[in-house]
A and B are shown apart, each in its own frame.
Chain A
Amino acid sequence: MRTLDWLVVGAWLIFVVGDSLRRTRGTTGLAGYFLANRSLPWWAVGLSVMATQLSAITMIGTTGQGATDGLRFVQFYFGLPLAMVILGVTLVPFLHGAGVYTAYEYLERRFDARTRSLTAFLFLCSRGLSCGTIIAAPAVVFASIFGWDLRVTVALIGVPTVLYTMIGGVQAVAWADVKQMFVIVGSLVAIVVVLLVKIPVGAPDVMEIAGAAGRLKALDFTFDVTQTYTVWSGLIGGTFLMLSYFGTDQSQVQRYLTAKSVDEARTSLLMSAYWKIPLQALILMIGVLIFVFYVFVRPPLLFNPVHDAKVKAAEPQQYEVLDARYGAALGARTSAARQVAMERTPDTRALLKSADSSVNAVRAEALSLVTKVTGESKPRDVNYIIPHFVRTQLPVGLAGLFIAAILAAAMSAVSAELNSLASASVIDFYRRWVKADASDDHYLMISKGATAFWGLCACVVATYAASLGSLIEVVNRFGSFFYGSILGVFLLAMVKRSTALGAFVGLIVGMGTVFAVSTWLPSVAFLWHNVIGAVTVFVVGTLLSVARPAVPDAPAAA
C-alpha cells in the first residue's frame, strides 16, 4: 500500500460521511430518522437492501472460498429470487401498509405485546452481537496485514459508521449504501480486469485449469440434508432463510419501509432477485481467478502474515520442511496446469487435480501447525487470500480502491444494523414500555443515543471478538434457532384464524424443535433449520388457534 492508496481510502471515507450527512439536512422527527418519511426511490432502497446484505465478510471470505472451494457457495442464494417474489405479495404490503416503524410492532397489532417483545428481544440479542462480528472480521484482517493495533482498525470502520448513522438516521444510511454499492461493484470489476491481464494464459485456458481443479463445479443435485450447499438446500432451505431475513429481520425490513409506496418497496426487493445471484457468482469467480493466478505465481504457505511469522519463529525446522514440500508441490501443479493448457486430455486434467490435492495437503499441515502454535482452532487463512493479492499485486490506486470497497461493505452492513437496533430499542421497548407519551424531539434524541450505544457495543465486541469467540458462536447458534421460527409467526399473522396464544406458544415450540434438531441431529445442515422452525411454528400455531379460538374481544385480525 502506497501513499496514493491511502489517499484514496481517506478521500472515500470523507466523501461517504460528508455526502451522506449533507443529504439528510432537513430530516426531522422520528419518521424522518427511522423511515426517511417514506420518501426514498425504489432504486436507492434496492441498492441499500443489497449493500446491507453484502458485508466485508462477503468481500473477503467469499472470494477466499471461491479460490479454495470453487463456485459451490452460489447455491446458497438460489432461494433468494423466489423469496423476494413471495415477500412482494405477502409481508411487504402488510408491513408497509400497516405504517409501522418495526416489523415487531406489527406483531402487537396482530397478536399481543408479549409476542412483539419476545421477537424484538431476540432480534436485539442476536443482531447486537453480530454487528460486532461484522466489524471484527475485516478489522482483524486489516490489523494482521498492515501490522496495526486491532483497536485502530475497529475505530477506522466503527467511528465514521456510527457518526453518519447516529446523526443522519436511515436517510444517511440509505444514501451511503448507494455510493458504497458503486464502489464495491466498481472495484470487483476492476479486479477481474487486473486478474485477466496478469494471468499468463488466455481465458479459455483459465477456464480449463479452473475446471480441471474442480473450481467450476457450481451445482450439486444430490438430496442430502447433511450437505450444506446443494441445489435443494439452496432452493428450499435458502428460500425460507431469505424469507426470514428479508421479511422479518428489522435490518432489512427497515430498508423497504423507507420506500415511497408498496409498489416501490416491491420493486426494490426485485432488484436483489435479479442481481444477487450474478453478483455472488462474480465474487466467487474472482476467487477462482485468484486460484488460477496463484497456479502460476508462487503463493505464500500461509496468507496470514501474523500466523506465518509466529509459526516460523516457534517451529522453524518444521516450517522449513513444509515450505520446501510446498514449493515442490506448487512446481508440480504449475507444470500440470501448463500441460492442461497445451493438451486437454483426461490424463492431463487428472494430473492437475492430483497436483492441486498435494498442494492442499501441505497447506492443511501448515494450518494444523498454526493451530498448534497459536491455539486457534480455526485459523481461517482463507480470509487473507484476497487481502494478500490486493496488497502485493494490484497497481497503485486500485489497491486503495479495493480497501475502500471492503470498508464500504463493512460500513453499509453495520450502519443498517445500528439503525435497526436503535429503532427496535426505541419503538419496541422505550416507547412501548418506558415512556409512551413523550414528544417527537425526545424520541429523536433517545434514538440518536441508542444508535451511539449500539455502535459502542459493536466496537467493544469487535475489539474483544477473539476472546469472545465461543460466546459469539453460542449467540450465532442461538440466532439460528429462532430465525425460521420468527418467520413462522409472521406467516401465522397472515392467517385470519390464528390467535396470539397460537403465535406465542408456536414460537416457543418452534425454537425448541430447532434446538432439539441441532443438538441431537447435528449433521442436518443449518439451512434446513429455517424450514423446520417456520413449519413447526405454523403447524403448532394453527392447531392451537383452531383448538382454542380467540374470544370476540381479543385482538382482531389485521
Chain B
Amino acid sequence: MPSDDPRARFRQTLVRVLTVQVVAVLALYLLQLRYH
C-alpha cells in the first residue's frame, strides 16, 4: 500500500528500486560465476 507520508513513500521506493537492482546485479554475478 502506498503511504501518505512522503518519507515512508521514499523509503518504500528506495527499497523497491534497490531490491530490483540487487537482483539484477546478483543475476549478472551468477551468470559470470557459472560461465566465466
Q: Which residues of B contact A278 (CB under 8 A)?
A: 24
Asked if A78 and B13 make an inter-chain contact with CB atoms under 8 angstroms apart, the answer reads no
Q: From known contacts A211-B35, A217-B32, infer whether A277 and B14 are also in contact, taking CB-CB under 8 Å.
A: no
Please tell me if A210 contacts chain B, counting CB pairs below 8 Å: yes
Interface of A, secondary structure class, is: helix
State how many residues of chain B have any CB contact under 8 Å with chain A: 17
Q: From known contacts A218-B31, A219-B29, A278-B24, infer whether A82 and B36 are also in contact, taking CB-CB under 8 Å.
A: no
Interface size class of A (residues with CB under 8 A): 20 to 34
A70 vs B35: C-alpha distance when bound (angstroms)? 13
Surface stretch bound by B, among A83-91, A457-465, A523-531, A533-541 = A83-91
A83 vs B25: C-alpha distance when bound (angstroms)? 16
A85 vs B21: C-alpha distance when bound (angstroms)? 12
Asked if B35 and A219 make an inter-chain contact with CB atoms under 8 angstroms apart, the answer reads no
Choose among A85, A218, A273 the residue that contacts B28 (Cβ–Cβ < 8 A): A218
A220 nearest in chain B by CB position: B32
Asked if B13 and A74 make an inter-chain contact with CB atoms under 8 angstroms apart, the answer reads no
Please tell me if A308 contacts chain B, counting CB pairs below 8 Å: no
Choose among A81, A89, A208, A231 the residue that contacts B18 (Cβ–Cβ < 8 A): A81
Please tell me if A30 contacts chain B, counting CB pairs below 8 Å: no
Interface residues in B1-36 by Cβ distance below 8 A to A read 6, 10, 13-14, 17-18, 20-21, 24-25, 28-29, 31-32, 34-36
Choose among A208, A218, A274 the residue that contacts B17 (Cβ–Cβ < 8 A): A274
Q: From known contacts A82-B18, A207-B35, A211-B34, infer whether A277 and B13 are also in contact, taking CB-CB under 8 Å.
A: no
A198 vs B28: C-alpha distance when bound (angstroms)? 25
Q: Which residues of A contact B6 (CB under 8 A)?
A: 89
Q: Which residues of A contact B18 (CB under 8 A)?
A: 81-82
Choose among B14, B28, B35, B36 the residue that contacts A74 (Cβ–Cβ < 8 A): B28
A78 vs B18: C-alpha distance when bound (angstroms)? 10
A207 vs B35: C-alpha distance when bound (angstroms)? 7
Q: Which residues of A contact B20 (CB under 8 A)?
A: 81, 273-274
Q: From known contacts A78-B25, A274-B20, infer whether A85 and B32 are also in contact, taking CB-CB under 8 Å.
A: no
CB distance from A350 to the nearest CB of B (A): 13
Q: Which residues of B contact A207 (CB under 8 A)?
A: 31, 34-35
- 30 pairs of residues in contact across A and B, judged by CB atoms under 8 Å: A71-B28, A78-B21, A81-B17, A82-B18, A82-B21, A84-B17, A85-B10, A85-B14, A85-B17, A88-B13, A89-B6, A207-B34, A208-B35, A210-B35, A211-B36, A212-B35, A216-B31, A216-B36, A217-B36, A218-B28, A218-B31, A219-B25, A231-B25, A270-B17, A274-B17, A274-B20, A277-B24, A278-B24, A281-B24, A281-B28
Q: A216-B31, A218-B28, A219-B29 are in contact. List 8 more A-B contacts (CB 8 A).
A: A74-B28, A88-B13, A207-B31, A207-B35, A211-B35, A211-B36, A217-B36, A218-B32
Partner-B contacts on A (CB < 8 A) = 71, 74, 78, 81-82, 84-85, 88-89, 207-208, 210-212, 214, 216-219, 231, 270, 273-274, 277-278, 281
